[in-house]
Structures are given as structure tokens and as C-alpha cells.
Amino acid sequence: MISVAALRMQQFGVQFYQASLTAKDIDKLVRFEVLSYGDQGASGVRGNARQSKVRWDFLERRIASSDKAYQRQIIRKKIDELVGYYDQCRQARDLPSIPGAVIISCDEALKFDAMPGEPSLGILKVPEREGILRAIDGQHRLLALHAGIEHFGDESFTVPAIIFDRLPEDHVVQMFVTINAKHTRLNPSHLVALSGRQLYRDENLAAAHDVVRALSEREDSPLLGEIKLLGVGHGRVAQAPLAQELKKLFGAEAFGSVKKTNEFRDEATRFFVNYFKQVAVVFGAAWNGRKYSIKSASALRAFIRVAPDIVRHLDQQHADLADFRAIGRIIAPWGRRIGDLRFETDGAWKRSGSTVDQLVKELRLALQYPEGSIG
């Protein structure tokens, strides 16, 4: 056990501790991890490492990536700036480098021995096991400390910390989101990933996120690399609006029954990959052109919203939900009734309106009257 002086605090029935941890305690006890997926192949770090004082090969070995984590990718520039600032503080000796408390959760039980007559003051005992503490707020600051610790020598260095005793997983994520959503402008796509996989265990949002990831990452997807996942990447469309549109689709009774909705959700990834492949064929010029808005969030959301109409036609033809050719036959009228020019950014897209509702109306009318009759 590591014993540190601490103040026991309580808010709305929740008990936690304010304590002082040494740099060596932090270096040994805190584990660093970021939200990621195995097929992303990333180290959990993004940004340029040129002219850096940080040994990134050394630091990256301390950063785990997992789809069960909640932290964002580590930003190299931010670590570099913090390491430089810490070094300035060390040399100038006129400012503390980490004056604010970091927020940490301990995986195992803590023990608190109160002082006689002072129930809020005492000694906090933390199990001495590597990686037992998880940073909720302050991960970049602690990583910068880890990166520059070799320069500290025998320097006395302590970090103020708020420590929670086995905070439940969903509470950890909720606190992380609350702290970061406003103050550090946490990317909404990152929030979607957290709320689907971690915070609420929302099956509809989790399934929606799986569909978006497949559309962005599968080699046979016409949207390969077009969607920003977790707020990063070269894509032009944010993950969040597409995932929210899909969540609504899975949660509504758009398919006629809960059973039908559940069946569709199970096949949704296959369906949407093949569906958008056929959309790319029907609107070939717009899909492959540079001056069109067919891959905008509004257009993609409209295509998603009419999915139940496509499914009803598939049912009428007794076709599989992900039948590539059947989907192509069903949406073929869009090429005749709507056409590529509808998505020309400086043309019909501006003149006719670019709202999701307007495009959904046009897509549904073209399915209902494939030959143009309003009869």
C-alpha cells in the first residue's frame, strides 16, 4: 500500500478523496488508454512528431487502445507543449506546472484511516499495483509528466489529485463527458461513440455506430474514408449526424413491428453497404464528381431515412434485405426522376432546397411513381 495524506469529501452521497501523489506514484500507478478499435491500427496518438523533445517510441508503449476505453486520442502537439512548459517551470522555478487537480478513479478498494476527532482528515492507502489508477481528467498532463520525468532527478514533485474509489464504469464515462463536452469542446462524434458503447449501453446507437464504421472502413463501401470517425480522419462527413439518424431509424416503428425492426438492425450493416453502392451507381456522375453535394450529411441522412421504403419493396419482391441487385432495381427510378443534376452544389441543390425533409419527399415520390405518373 502507498500511504498519502488526504481529505475525505462527500457530495450528494458520493465519497471521494483529495490527496497529493508524487510524480513517481503517478508514473507507476496510473494507466493511460484511449478509445479506439483494433482495425484502426492506431497507437492512440495523433499529430506530427517532428522536432519533438518527447521520446514517442517510449511514451506510446504506455498508451493502450481499446473499444472499452473512453479517452480521446493523445495529441502530440499538446504533449510537446506541456513538456516544454514543465521544463520552463523547472528551470525558472516561479510557477507550478500542474497546480490543478487531476481526477482519477481507482480500480480496487481504498482504505482511509481518519485522524482522531477529524473524520475528514487522515491517511489514504492506495494498493501499490501498476496501472491501478485511471485518469478521468488530466490524462495529457500526466502523460507529459511521464514523458519528462527523467529530467526531474531527485526533485520533490507532487500532483494534487481527486481520487474516486471504484467509480462505476458508466459514472466514469459520464463524468468524462460532462467535464469535456463544454469546456474542451469534445467532438460530437466522440460523444456518439461513447454514448453508444459506454455511457448508456444503447443498443440502437451501438448498432448505428457499427453501420457508420462499416461504411467508412470497409474496402467495398462507396463511402470508404469519407466519414470522420471519433472526430479524426480525412473524411468530410461527421459521424454524429449519421449515427443519430440511424438510431432514430432503429428506434422507431418505421418497419411496422418491433420484430421487423430488430431483424433489420441485425442486417443493417450489409444492407447499407449494398444500398449505398447502388446509390453510387444510380447517381454515378454526382457520386464521383467534385461539384456535387450527394455525400453531404443532409443527403446521406435522407437516403438513410427512406430505408424503410426500400425494405418494403424488397419484402414485396420476397428478396433478401441485402440483395444488391434487388436494391438496384428498386431505386433505379431515382436516376430517371431525380438525376445527378439535383445534387449539383451550385445548381438545383441550392435552388430546390438542401434540407433532409425535402430530399426525402422527392426520393419517396420517385419510388411511389417510378414512371412519373401522379395519377
Residue-wise pLDDT tens digits, 88-113: 787 777 788 898 899 988 989 999 99
Domain membership flag for residue 373: no
pLDDT band at 254 (very low <50, low <70, confident <90, very high): confident
Say whether both 174 and 239 belong to one domain.
Answer: no
| Cβ contact 308:265 at 8 Å | no
Q: Between these two residues, 366 and 89, which has the higher pLDDT value? A: 366
Say whether both 207 and 339 belong to one domain.
Answer: yes
| Cβ contact 323:316 at 8 Å | no
Model confidence at 44: pLDDT above 80: no
DSSP 216: H
**340 phi-psi bin (left φ>0, alpha ψ -120 to 50, beta other):** alpha
**For the ranges 54-58, 196-200, 206-210, 305-309, which has the lowest average pLDDT?**
196-200
Say whether both 135 and 49 belong to one domain.
Answer: yes
Taking only the tens place, the pLDDT of each residue in 264-305 is 999 999 999 999 999 999 999 999 999 999 999 999 999 999
The pTM of the full predicted model, rounded to 2 decimals, is 0.57
Kind and range of the H or E element at 51?
A: none
Say whether both 163 and 290 belong to one domain.
Answer: no
List residues bridging with 27 in a β-sheet: none
Say whether both 213 and 136 belong to one domain.
Answer: no
Say whether both 63 and 199 belong to one domain.
Answer: no
Interval 183-193 mean pLDDT: 60
| Cβ contact 63:33 at 8 Å | yes
**What domain count does the chain have?**
2
Domain membership flag for residue 375: no
Model confidence at 38: pLDDT above 80: no
C-alpha cell at position 131: 496501472
Coil vs helix vs strand at 95? coil
Domain of residue 261: give its range: 188-368
Q: Do strands 30-35 and 63-66 pair parallel, antiparallel, or not at all (unpaired)?
A: parallel
* Phi/psi at 180 (5° precision): -95, -25
CA dihedral over 132, 89, 51, 233, signed as positive or negative: positive
| Cβ contact 195:136 at 8 Å | no
To the nearest whole percent, how much of the chain has pLDDT over 90?
A: 40
Say whether both 145 and 165 belong to one domain.
Answer: yes
Say whether both 201 and 173 belong to one domain.
Answer: no
Coil vs helix vs strand at 342? helix
Say whether both 206 and 177 belong to one domain.
Answer: no
Q: 94-101, long-range: CB within 8 Å, 24+ apart, which pairs?
A: 98/138, 98/141, 98/145, 98/159, 98/160, 99/160, 100/138, 100/160, 101/18, 101/138, 101/160, 101/161, 101/162
| Cβ contact 29:131 at 8 Å | yes
Coil vs helix vs strand at 318? coil
Residue where one domain finishes, among candidates 183, 218, 237: 183
pLDDT band at 344 (very low <50, low <70, confident <90, very high): very high
- pLDDT for residue 204: 85
Q: How far apart are the C-alpha atoms of 143 and 131, rounded to whole Å?
A: 13
Single-letter amino acid code for the residue at 363: L
Interval 352-374 mean pLDDT: 84
Say whether both 57 and 158 belong to one domain.
Answer: yes
Question: What is the Cα gyration radius of the chain?
Answer: 26
Model confidence at 62: pLDDT above 90: no
Domain membership flag for residue 252: yes
Where are the extended beta strands (E) located within the chain?
2-11, 14-22, 30-35, 45-46, 63-66, 74-75, 102-106, 111-115, 118-126, 133-137, 158-165, 227-228, 237-238
Residue where one domain finishes, among candidates 183, 208, 234: 183
Q: How far apart are the C-alpha atoms of 265 and 250, rounded to whole Å?
A: 6
Residue where one domain finishes, among candidates 152, 183, 214: 183
CA distances from 359 to 156, 228, 353, 363 (A): 64, 23, 8, 6
Coil vs helix vs strand at 34? strand
Q: Between these two residues, 12 and 120, which has the higher pLDDT value? A: 120
C-alpha cell at position 262: 430488430
Model confidence at 123: pLDDT above 80: yes
